Amino acid sequence: MSLLIREMQAGDVPSVYKLQEMLAFQKWSEAQILAEVSLPCAVTKVAYDGGLLVGYAIFHVIADEAELLSIAVDPTRQREGIAKAIYAETLSELKSRKIQSFFLEVRVRNTVAQQFYQSLGFVETYRRKRYYADGEDAVIMKGIL
What does the pLDDT look like over 4-61, one tens digit per residue?
999 999 999 999 999 998 886 778 899 999 999 999 999 999 999 999 999 999 999 9
For the whole model, what pTM was predicted? 0.91
Q: How far is the C-alpha of 6 from the C-alpha of 136, rounded, in Å?
A: 33
Q: Which of 65, 67, 105, 136 is catalytic?
A: 105
What does the pLDDT look like over 89-134, one tens digit per residue?
998 888 888 898 999 999 999 999 999 999 999 999 999 999 998 9
117 is catalytic: yes
Answer with the residue of higher pLDDT: 140 or 1.
140
Classify the phi-psi angles of 51: left when phi > 0, otherwise alpha if psi is within -120 to 50, otherwise beta.
left
Q: Which one-letter DSSP state was computed for residue 94?
A: H
